[in-house]
A and B are shown apart, each in its own frame.
Chain A
Amino acid sequence: MEIIHILGVLMHIHSVLTSQDTFSEELLIKPLYSDQVYTHFHFSTKWDVDMDTETFNHSRLFPRALGEIIKRFNVQELHVSLTGGLWRYENWGYPVVDAAPGAEVWAWFRPDTGDVDKNWKLLANSLSGLLCASLNFVDKSNSISPEFSFQPSGAIDSPNVNNTYLRYASLPREIVCTENLTPWKKLLPCNSKTGLASLLNSGYIHNSRYHSVGLHLRQICQDESCESVSLDLQQTVSLVYDYGILGTKDWSLSKLFGQGVNGRCVLASRSEIYIDITSTTARAFTLDPQPDEVLTSVRGGHHSTFGKYTLPRNFFNIYTKFIDKEIVSLNVPPVLHANQYLTGYGQERGGIVTKVYNNHWSELDVVLLQDIPWYVPIYLHTLKLMSNDIEIKPVALRYVPGKQRERPYYLEVFIKLPPRSTTSVSIDFDYVFLKWQEYPPDANHGFYIGSAIISSILPVARNYTGLPQDGTLISHSFNASRSGYLVQVRTENMVITLPTPDFSMPYNVICLACTVVALAFGPLHNITTRRLVMKSKKKESLLVKLKKFLSFNK
């Protein structure tokens, strides 16, 4: 009996030791053209596991809480991001991971999922608990299934992709703060005690111009033949610090994050920091200590140089010193960027305009996705595409009209942007009047419209930092020339103030309206039920009336 027990324990230890999971942590620091520095943390957990048989009762590096959720709700692929601030594409180029302001979540469910809507709702609720975010507000009334914009980024079983298993929702009003970062850090194997995660002190990172935490889960092929798959979890934190807020252009890890790195995470197979030193021509700085290695990456015709540090086991810090050079360089905006704004005045009729800029010398195919909440009814016949003041036609269009309190308006437009053009996509909407109990407590704060998403495969990799689709690490993006580079540009959120009723009036309104109804009922009742008679005009005195009344009672 005991032998069997011991054998069982041994087997268990064996399975743990042989379980194929690896964890890597990377940090990319890139001084941006303007007075900002971009830092991107990338924690990647890869686990060679079969999703069909794995029960997620035990895991080594992979967060078990997340595993249980994806198993329970039959999730194929999951992307969550919680973002504060807006990524300025025009000045900053492209981030490693695009994220819309507020909370954004999209998931692919496995094709054998029965009730996708129900699973989606439950998934959102579970994620809400996992990340302490208000994702529980995600339901059918604010979710869409875009056809073009969100393709699975990992390996999938079936050759044809069916977007009925895709759900996307964004909560533009969500405010991201410490309470989201803390549970997010708990998903890391080393927590925030050691490793790069020890830099993530909420007191510092929420002082930045832009901060975004993300969680991206997908399945990837283990090898070229793709006979078995691995689970790939990428946890990211993107921060943009402003020299103005820092008070100096000489940044260091301790200045940015409050402290240096508390040694490498012992569970990590790879623990590295990359600093983009390409831009030293424009904003020259010296590094102390010197990088362990200097890498040159040629990607899509674009050269960049990185200083690479491998984290030691002990405390580590990097200092930079800004060299004041009298060089004024010109910012070359990225190939594709966009913004969005509201038109019209008053609270009756308005319009949404999305401006898409193509700075490339050739045509660019883009897909514009608008997820418009149900309280902003849009009129498709007013959709107008103007490119350099010439009206153009969309190549393809997908539209599902919304329904009050049930479904948002989903609009996806496939546009061929002319070379070197500014294309504005405008559509009209009406302001609606809600029931008084549907307004939030601060009704005049306004209602949010989420950002539009412009997806495109760029032919050049200028200002591009994203990972290739087959890559899981930042180091995979070096020298990764591909035929195209996927970007998903997010625009600003918008706020509209819907006309409000007087919230203190319900009783008065009910009384007044009913009075008017009674005003009709009374006379009509009289007319239809009584006869006209002629009666003497002479009035009886009170005494006579009283006498009559008393005589009645006798």
Chain B
Amino acid sequence: MSVKNPVDEEVKRASIAQIVTTCVIGAIIRCCLSFSKYQSIIANHVEISTPLNSWKRVSEGLYLLSNNINPYSGDLLHETPFSLYIYRNVLRLFQGRIEYMFATVDVLTGMILFFSAKKYVEESYKEEIVNRHQYAKDVSSYLLKPDKIFLSPYYVLLAYLFNPFTVLSCVGYSTTVFHNFFLSAMLFSMVHGIAVICGIFLAICASISFYPFVLIVPGFLYFKNVHRSVVKALVSLKTFLAVSVLIVVMCTNYGKDFSYLSNVYGCILTVPDLQPNTGLFWYFFTEMFDHFRELFIFAFQINASVLYLIPLSIKFRKQPFLLTVAILTIISIFKSYPSIGDVGFILSLLPCFRHLFRCSQQGFLVGVIMLISTSLAPILWYLWIYCNSANANFYFGVTLAFAIAQIFLLTDILFAQVKREFVLKNGTEKKVDGEESLLYLE
């Protein structure tokens, strides 16, 4: 096989100096904001701190633990004993400097995402060269261009480090930062084909926020279809299961009993805390009639976790990375306590799919809705909670718009992928029997 190693080619890449500078600037921005007076204002925002990820609740849990009170006997804490253990020890490592801890973890996440994206881009470039002979003739403009595609990882880094969503989430000390770190580590090991590590990090992610357990399917497909190793796929699956059990055992030992289960997963699944956030659950279940509550909880949770899993996995089995991102997006839209940290993570992965952007149509619309809804959200919150001149409906409207923007973004990217595939196969000519024609879904 005469595949040219992309490394040998004359391509544009981000230099190491560039990457280091970016990371340092990212870290400085985070630290500066953390030390400013705006930190507590940011940390108190419901879009950033949900009941599940607010640092205030973690510190309450740690305080109760240090006073020998079981933090799971109340219902303020929704973190697993395992993550409490991690926070406690990482905090000790940083000698109690929370600002540095969050900034470091967040910048590390950015770096890991950079390396994951780099590997993914290289792999997809290689694969496209291998498959070049199967494509139509006039599609060269649709193909991956080394001079563009190899800058994508750097854009991923930029998008993560300078994304206002992730910056605010980090400055607000939301534990989503840690969750994102574990997710990025899982992506990294997935694209690099380290099945055991992938299983471990996936189990950690699932233990923290439950929903990521569905990522085991794209993970499995990635090992099977990209790394072409069923063994690795099975290893990742088995590690995931084994580590999950191990975490449950550890949590039970550390938390003394099973009371944490109802506090963590009970809270995620049954949504007892109706504090507003950027998701759809809070107002829906505030206004829900009691006798329909169970029905809709089941419907919404299935919608957020497994409903789209099988159809998407079948359709995009050849693009498991895209599948992973798609599933992450669905989770972040429909999970019970989403925060903008989750959205920031997904947005920062988008540069990996730069080749799809020319097939997508709603970028502008999505951008405008996101911009407007994120700027309106705090304003309407202030009017509702502090001025009493607006009410819950205003804020609800904004969260609806925000969800719609994410949905459009997701469907747009997936459509773009389908379209690009079609074009690569059938060429760019838009004529059937010599007549102007359009693409339709049949």
Contact = CB atoms under 8 A, between A and B. Distances in A.
Interface string B247-275: 00000000000000000000000001111
A402 B74 contact: yes
Given A513-B284, A516-B404, A401 B73 contact: yes
Which interface residue of A433, A436, A437, A527 has the most chain B CB atoms within 10 A?
A527
B63 A505 contact: no
B404 to A, nearest CB: 6
A345 B62 CA distance: 28
Q: On chain A, which size bracket covers the interface?
A: 35 or more
A534 B67 contact: no
Which interface residue of A346, A403, A505, A520 has the most chain B CB atoms within 10 A?
A520
A532 interface: yes
A527 B415 contact: yes
A536 B419 contact: no
B375 interface: no
15 contacts: A349-B44, A381-B64, A402-B75, A432-B275, A433-B282, A502-B393, A509-B286, A513-B283, A520-B407, A523-B411, A532-B422, A535-B432, A536-B432, A536-B436, A538-B436
A529 B311 CA distance: 8
Contacts of B439: 532-535
Nearest to A506: B287
Nearest to A383: B63
User: Closest 4 A-B residue pairs measured CB to CB?
Assistant: A401-B74, A528-B311, A381-B63, A523-B411
Contacts of B315: 527-528
A349 B312 CA distance: 42
Interface in B274-314: 274-276, 280, 282-290, 296, 300, 303, 307-308, 311-312, 314
B130 interface: no
Contact of A509 (B312, B333, B396): B396
A261 to B, nearest CB: 53
Give the secondary structure class of B's interface. helix
B422 A347 contact: no
B224 interface: no
Interface residues of B, number: 71
A512 interface: yes
Which interface residue of A397, A403, A432 has the most chain B CB atoms within 10 A?
A403
Interface string B416-429: 00110010001000
B312 A403 contact: no
B426 A534 contact: yes
A404 B400 contact: no
Interface string A329-368: 0000000000000000111110000000000000000000
Contacts of B275: 430, 432-433
A529 B442 CA distance: 9
B1 interface: no
A534 B438 contact: yes
B287 A436 contact: yes
A320 B213 CA distance: 82
Contact of A510 (B287, B392, B404, B432): B287
Given A505-B393, A516-B403, A379 B56 contact: yes
Nearest to B415: A527
B407 A534 contact: no
Contacts of A512: 396, 400
Contacts of A380: 60, 63-64, 67, 69
Interface stretch (B168-176, B233-241, B383-391): B383-391
A404 B74 CA distance: 8
A390 interface: no
A204 interface: no
A533 B437 CA distance: 10
A501 interface: yes
Nearest to B276: A433
Nearest to A347: B385
Contacts of A469: none
Contacts of A325: none
Interface of A: 345-349, 377, 379-381, 397, 399-405, 409, 430, 432-437, 499-502, 505-506, 509-510, 512-513, 516-517, 519-521, 523-538
Contact of B303 (A436, A517, A523): A517
Interface string B64-99: 100101010111100000000000000000000000
A502 B385 CA distance: 13
Nearest to A434: B274
B290 A437 contact: yes
Nearest to A520: B407
B442 A531 contact: yes
Nearest to B45: A348
A504 to B, nearest CB: 10
Given A399-B69, A509-B283, A517-B303, A435 B288 contact: yes
B177 interface: no
A531 B280 contact: no
A528 B273 CA distance: 34
A382 B126 CA distance: 56
B430 A534 contact: yes
A400 to B, nearest CB: 7
A379 B60 contact: yes
B69 A433 contact: no
A401 B76 contact: yes
B311 A401 contact: no
Contacts of A401: 64, 69, 71, 73-76
Nearest to A348: B385
B72 to A, nearest CB: 9
Contact of B411 (A347, A402, A437, A524): A524
Contact of A403 (B74, B289, B303, B419): B74
Contacts of B75: 401-404
A501 B391 CA distance: 7
A146 B298 CA distance: 40
A270 to B, nearest CB: 50
Contact of B442 (A432, A501, A530): A530
A380 to B, nearest CB: 6
A437 B285 CA distance: 11
A377 B300 CA distance: 27
Interface in B391-410: 391-393, 396, 400, 403-404, 407, 410
A343 to B, nearest CB: 15
